[in-house]
Structures are given as structure tokens and as C-alpha cells.
Amino acid sequence: MQSIHFFKYQGAGNDFIIVDNREKNIQLSQEKINHLCDRRFGIGADGFMLLQNSAEGDFEMIYHNADGQLGSMCGNGGRCIVAFAKKIEIVSDHADFIAIDGRHTASINDEGNWVSLKMQDVDQIQIIDKSYVLDTGSPHYVKLVNELEAMDVKHEGASIRNSTPYKKDGINVNFVSPEEDGYFVRTFERGVEDETLACGTGVTAVALAMAYKKGENGQLKTPIRALGGNLLIRFHADNNHFRDIYLEGPAEYVFEGTVTI
């Protein structure tokens, strides 16, 4: 039996269990992480993160999907772990950390609940069946749709995620509808295998794909509404090349506790 002190954070409704593992005394199996993320029998979360020491940055982010498997980059998770690092006084208003896709930097407001996270550059967008496929730290499929409010995102997303090209490795599926000066986005996430209230790498993929579709270049700013809240993506576009990409939005402490495994 092992007692683990955990912290619960959420970013636009995308929620995470975070554990301070700088002493590296916590090692959990895929099955146990999956149990902790279960919303009926565990704590409940879209993902599980360990914050660990790093010789290359302020800390290292180890991210697991809700199914317990080691995951690719999670944008909202990255923003939440930065807010957590500020709470435990590893960082103050700036963070430089290592994730599975490399180095990230971020800035944090004084209250510690708004984080701007720099994402990796993107150099390729593919058009497949009138939709867009790209990697923003995690692989994403972006599809423009009508009547998004009423769509069965879990069913439609699972259909694409489990189709022949993506069944083995999985892909996150984002459905998009324009509104006002930005977009409304709903996302089916692999590893969760369900719709989530927001997806950071997903809304980033949407912003880049829509700029590419419209032929927009230069310094751009795209507001996006997810079910769980509003996010902002800032970036520089040069045809199929995207630089200085920032994902911005809330990253809020929810509660903390101790669980026995």
C-alpha cells in the first residue's frame, strides 16, 4: 500500500491529477493510473501527470492519458503543470520545462491561474478527405462541420479515430464551426476515448489549420471556445510553416488530497 498526495487542476474543463515526484519515489502501473483517472471508482481526470526534476529545465513533465498509457504532449496539461509548479514555488512568473516532445517555455500571471505556453513549431499540414491532419505535439484531425452543438462527438470522433489509417496509433479528432471572430471546437481524445471539455493541442491544431485553409499569413491571433471555456492561440504563419505558437488560457487549482494505492 502506498499513500500519494495529489493535486487536481483544470484548464478550460480539461482536468488532470498532478503529483510532485521530484524524489522519484512514485511508480504506478498503467492499470493504477487508469483507476485513479476513473470518474466513478477513482479521483477522475482526463490525464495524470508527474512533476519530476530535470537537469535541462525547471522540471520535467511526465504525462499519462486517462487509460494509463504514456501520452504525447498535452497542451492544457502543460499549462496546468506550470501553474502547479508556481504553487509549490519551483517557478515564479516564467517556466522552462521538458516534456515528451522537447523543451517548452511558459509565462504565468501573478495569481497563478492564467498560463501562456509556447508550443513546438509546425511545418506540415496534410489535407485528407477535405479535412486537415497535423501534429502539434499530438496528432490531430480537424474537420469543419455544421450544427456542432447537436453533434454526437463521441460517436463521430470514435469512427474517425478507429478508421484504418489511425486505428493502431490513434488520432485526436476536432470538429470545428466558425463563430464571430474565432471558432467553436469539440474534441474526441484518444487515450480518453471520449469527448473532453477542451484539448490544448487540439485547439492549437484548429487555429493553424484554419489559417492554412484561409491562406492567412503573418502574426495571427485566434480565439477558440471549447465546452469548458475559452482559449487563445497566437502564432506566426508562413504558408505551411508556423512559428512562435502560444496556447493561452486558464489553469486553475481545484483541490488536493491523499489517496492510498
Q: What is the 3-state secondary structure (H, E, C) of the chain?
A: CCEEEEEEEEECCEEEEEEECCCCCCCCCHHHHHHHHCCCCCCCCCEEEEEECCCCCCEEEEEEECCCCECCCCHHHHHHHHHHHHHCCCCCCEEEEEECCEEEEEEECCCCCEEEEECCCECCCEEECCEEEEECCCEEEEEECCCHHHCCHHHHHHHHHCCCCCCCCCCEEEEEEEECCEEEEEEEECCCCEEECCCHHHHHHHHHHHHHHHCCCEEEEEEEEECCEEEEEEEEEECCEEEEEEEEEECEEEEEEEEEC
Cell readout for 241 is: 510553416
- Classify the phi-psi angles of 238: left when phi > 0, otherwise alpha if psi is within -120 to 50, otherwise beta: beta
80 is catalytic: no
Find the catalytic residue in 142, 199, 203, 226.
Answer: 199
85, three cell numbers = 509548479
User: Which residue(s) pair with 131 in the sheet?
Assistant: 128
Of the listed 74, 108, 198, 210, which one is catalytic? 74
Inter-axis angle of helices 200-214 and 75-87, nearest 10? 130
Identify whether 199 is a catalytic site residue. Answer: yes
Enzyme catalytic residues: 74, 199
